[in-house]
Amino acid sequence: MSEEKKLFKPDSYRVTIDNITIDVEPGTTILNAARQIGGDVTPPAMCYYSKLQGSGGKCRTCLVEVAAGSAADPRPIPKLVASCRTNVMDGMVVKNITSERVLDARAGVVEFLLINHPLDCPICDQAGECHLQDLSYEHGKEGTRYEFKRRTFEKEDIGPYIQLHMTRCILCYRCTYVADQLTDNRAHGILDRGDHAEISTYISKAIDNDFSGNMIDVCPVGALTDKTFRFKNRVWFTKPVDAHRDCDKCCGKVTLWQRGDDVLRVTARKDEWGEVQSYARPDDKGGGNQPGWICNDCRFHKKKTSDWVIDGLTNINRHSVISQGKYPGLVMPNETIAEVMSGRDPKLLMDIHSVSDVNSVELGSLPGAATSNIFEKKDQ
């Protein structure tokens, strides 16, 4: 079957995103339709998380332009829409990276997100895997127009294993959805509103639920970090490997971040969108599509390689700084310079004056004296 035929199915809605047409189930959001196409067509998402119900609609990084609403009513939607919260209609035409308005709006959103976010990537544990860092490289501007004092907060311990740097939080609400949907006692949330809004625990209650560590994995920035890993290493110096163990609380499928034989950090396995991977449970009769959240026991207490069965090198996106020299199937290109130079070494430091006399001037031709280099003359 041709690639094109596979994309078109009966009883589905046909949507065109950045000139690529695909058929999707009715009820699919524009963002998820774009994810089915993949690549650059997919808008970035800082607050939407497919495994957390109700997430999305907070950050506006996923804005797209709807150039035609549907086949029945092909008028464009005048304002940009949040693709994570807008369902496709049959015949809809969407522009993401092909729209100047979208790219301009996204640069504005990044500028807003960075109003209070500190540029402390050099000392932040999330550097190298921070979605905001990637977003600002891809869509940000080099400057800011903000002139007021930025808000700052004291660091706060959220339970024994998690540290909250509220100064870095972009209020995406993902961690509160984890607390709501994965733990039985939600002890933290967003307090206050507007410029005063902050994540905090009620009456300093510690979060000691078995699944609270997943808040670290869903945080798109370095606001929630693993206290057992903080400042231990830069993530790109570690070697990520997939591993598993029999766990009676969670799926037991993790990524170990190793340095030599030491396990510095344990996280859930992530998919290409930075979300926890889904997997099929053995007892799942429906074929299974369960989010691979992991328990605190696997995350914080199994820090020896011997605790795990290693499955192999984690497949990290080759564009990520973490993947340097580590992604499977890496084939280094041949060094061509020696070939071109017929085996001779390239001369890397070349004194241009030894091969060119462009800067030598016959001073006799100038009003003045003897033949010399003008630079020598100047230095005298």
Contact segment (CB under 6 A) with ligand SF4 among 28-36, 164-172, 277-285, 314-322 equals 164-172
Identify what 175 binds: ligand FES, ligand SF4, none; CB under 5 to 8 Å per kind.
Answer: ligand SF4
Based on the shown chain and the rule CB under 6 A, indicate whether residue 199 belongs to the binding site for ligand SF4: yes
Q: Are 212 and 162 in contact (CB under 8 A)?
A: yes
- Residue 185 CB-density burial (10 A; 0-12 exposed, 13-18 middle, 19+ buried): exposed
Based on the shown chain and the rule CB under 6 A, indicate whether residue 161 belongs to the binding site for ligand SF4: no
Based on the shown chain and the rule CB under 6 A, indicate whether residue 182 belongs to the binding site for ligand SF4: no
CB of 49 to ligand FES, least distance (A): 9
CB of 244 to ligand SF4, least distance (A): 26
CB of 303 to ligand SF4, least distance (A): 24
Distance, CA of 27 to chain centre: 26
The single residue among 169, 207, 235, 276 that binds ligand SF4, judged by CB under 6 A, is: 169
CB of 300 to ligand SF4, least distance (A): 18
DSSP 117-145: S---GGG-TTTTS-HHHHHHHHH--S---
Give dist(CA 87, CA 352) in Å, integer.
62
Instruction: Decide whether 224 or 266 has the Cβ nearer to ligand SF4.
Output: 224
Largest CA distance in the chain: 97
Burial string for 43-82 (b: 16+ CB within 10 Å, else e) reads bbbbbbbbbbeebbebbbbbbbbbbbebeeeeeeeeebbb
The backbone torsions φ and ψ at residue 145, rounded to the nearest 5 degrees and listed phi first, read -105, 5
Q: Are 368 and 376 in contact (CB under 8 A)?
A: no
- Do strands 92-95 and 13-17 pair parallel, antiparallel, or not at all (unpaired)? parallel
Instruction: Decide whether 102 or 130 has the Cβ nearer to ligand SF4.
Output: 130
Based on the shown chain and the rule CB under 6 A, indicate whether residue 219 belongs to the binding site for ligand SF4: yes
Identify what 170 binds: ligand SF4, ligand FES, none; CB under 5 to 8 Å per kind.
Answer: ligand SF4
Identify what 254 binds: ligand SF4, ligand FES, none; CB under 5 to 8 Å per kind.
Answer: none
H or E stretch at 191: strand 188-191
Based on the shown chain and the rule CB under 6 A, indicate whether residue 326 belongs to the binding site for ligand SF4: no
CB of 69 to ligand FES, least distance (A): 19
* Site for ligand SF4, residues 333 to 352, rule: CB under 6 A: none
Identify what 59 binds: ligand FES, ligand SF4, none; CB under 5 to 8 Å per kind.
Answer: ligand FES
- Do strands 63-68 and 372-373 pair parallel, antiparallel, or not at all (unpaired)? unpaired
Rule CB under 6 A: which residues touch ligand SF4?
Answer: 169-175, 199, 218-221, 223-224
